[in-house]
Chains A and B, each alone.
Chain A
Amino acid sequence: MAQSGLPEFEQLAQQIEEEGALRDKLRELRDALEAALRPVDTALGLLHVKADVAPLLQQAQSLLPTVCERLGALQSAVPEGCFYKYNDLWRQSVVRVVQQAVLLHFLETGGCQTLADADRSIDTADSAAPCGRLAARQDVQRRLRGSDVADNAEIPAVRIETDEYLLGVCSAIQEMSRLAANRVVLGDFVTPKNMAVFANEVHAGFRLLNFRNDALRRSYDGLKYAVQRLDGIQYDLSIRNLR
């Protein structure tokens, strides 16, 4: 640093140094979080090439508590009151987490089952529900904590902002539009159908929102093409009477 001719800048430089040190630390924690996300992506990525879904889902779910722990460590390293000053650092990571959890939740709540199977395995209370449901934000948080931990356990819930949640949902549907065709290749005609229903219902939900011209709006605009693709796959299957 140059010899300071203006003393007013000393304190400023010091403050900026401190902010930089904090940001470096948060970046490290963010990178650790990203490292924990990679194996989840790998497990879910195998859905494109392996017909047997259950072990992949189990594996992905078993990796989520680590993700949760690292996201929690990252968020709790932020000084009180400065959450929004630094959350640009991990926004993309959280969107990815949500995408993974939404996909997982959909598949585990019956997304890869026929309605008849689902009726047998899930309680009849909500039997009218389609196969595969949208994870609400709390569902995502619950999945992250892991199924063996009670809801009221002493683990602070990780923060998922509304826009991060919505971007993650859009991203999950984008992923489904690609996954659906690959499931057909694997001889799985049930999951793509459920995905089409799911995408239409979620898209209907998105239509309730008033968007600004921002990233969310662009994601939403992209959603209709994913829905269209899934509808197209469903059409291809049904005219051939494949189920």
Chain B
Amino acid sequence: MSSGKRQRTDSSRYDDIFGPVAAELDAYKEKRERLVKASRDTTAAAKKVIFKLLRVNKVVEPTARTLDDPLLDEAEEDLAAVRRKIVDDIAAEFVADPASSLTEEYWRYQPQFSTGLQEYIEAACLYAWVRHSVCAGWRELQAQLPQVPIDTTDYLLGVCDLTGEVMREAVQSVALGNVQLPFAACRFLQQLLVECRALKQTAARSWPGTVNSELDRKLETMASSVVKVEETCYKLRLRQAEYPAAAGAIPPLSEEEPNRTVDD
């Protein structure tokens, strides 16, 4: 092995291949970190809005939806601030100049900030429910935030989370003496559950497996939240039957819409 003697490992042999790769991996990691942080900040800001919205309904009168509560206007402004934050901290990572549309890199990093977007969606939907007793639609939210594509996954997962907040609001309101809200909340949640479960079948072939297992998990939590509210309504109704005088504020049966049944 005299002339054919191999040189021992030469660490610089493939520098031309690994050098650029190293730079690329580092850049990816840094951008990823920035977006993870932006996502956490968005989550924190949206959470504050949610808590603010949960404080809105604390009046003890029987008719207690105080739509002129100044907290509602504050919450609306806060939501606009969260949107600005999403545009400045997240969308800005994917544009060369503000006029141009987002680069395809948006979807590469999307998993890194989707929790932040979901929390914002949850807050925006909760706001719509507290103020208008409806859920904010996907198109509607997209129209409010035209710079950032809202993925269907983030919308649906955000709506699933909304259920927990509505449940908390409904249960809390009983303690505060509002015995009408649970019934309204119950119908709303039952509808949401039907919708989300119906979409689950479609989503199975439309989304990656990781997202689908998250959806399964959230749907389970969602169902248990709905059951809690149903249980509350059940007890209220029982009490009304037992002591009509003690539960005068509960909506009489005739005023209720025919109850939707959660089938399948």
Contacts and interface: CB of A to CB of B under 8 A. Distances in A.
Given A16-B152, A23-B206, A212-B32, 6 more contacts: A11-B139, A136-B16, A162-B25, A197-B6, A208-B22, A243-B1
A162 B21 CA distance: 7
Interface in B1-19: 1, 3-4, 6-7, 9-11, 13-19
Given A17-B206, A20-B205, A7 B137 contact: yes
Interface of B: 1, 3-4, 6-7, 9-11, 13-19, 21-22, 24-26, 29, 32, 101-108, 110, 134-140, 152, 155-156, 191-192, 194-195, 197-199, 201-203, 205-208, 260, 263-264
B104 A2 contact: no
Contacts of B29: 210, 212
A84 B104 contact: yes
Nearest to A27: B205
Contacts of A205: 11, 13-15, 17-18
Interface of A: 1-2, 4-9, 11-13, 15-17, 19-20, 23-24, 80-85, 88, 114-116, 128, 130, 134, 136-137, 162, 165-166, 193, 197, 200-202, 204-212, 243
**Which label, helix, strand, loop or mixed, suits the secondary structure of the B interface?**
helix
A201 B13 contact: yes
Contacts of B101: 81
Given A8-B137, A24-B205, A212-B29, A16 B21 contact: no
Given A6-B135, A114-B4, A210-B26, A23 B205 contact: yes
Given A6-B135, A8-B140, A205-B15, A130 B6 contact: yes
A85 B11 contact: no
Contacts of B17: 134, 136-137, 205
Contacts of B14: 134, 201-202, 204-205
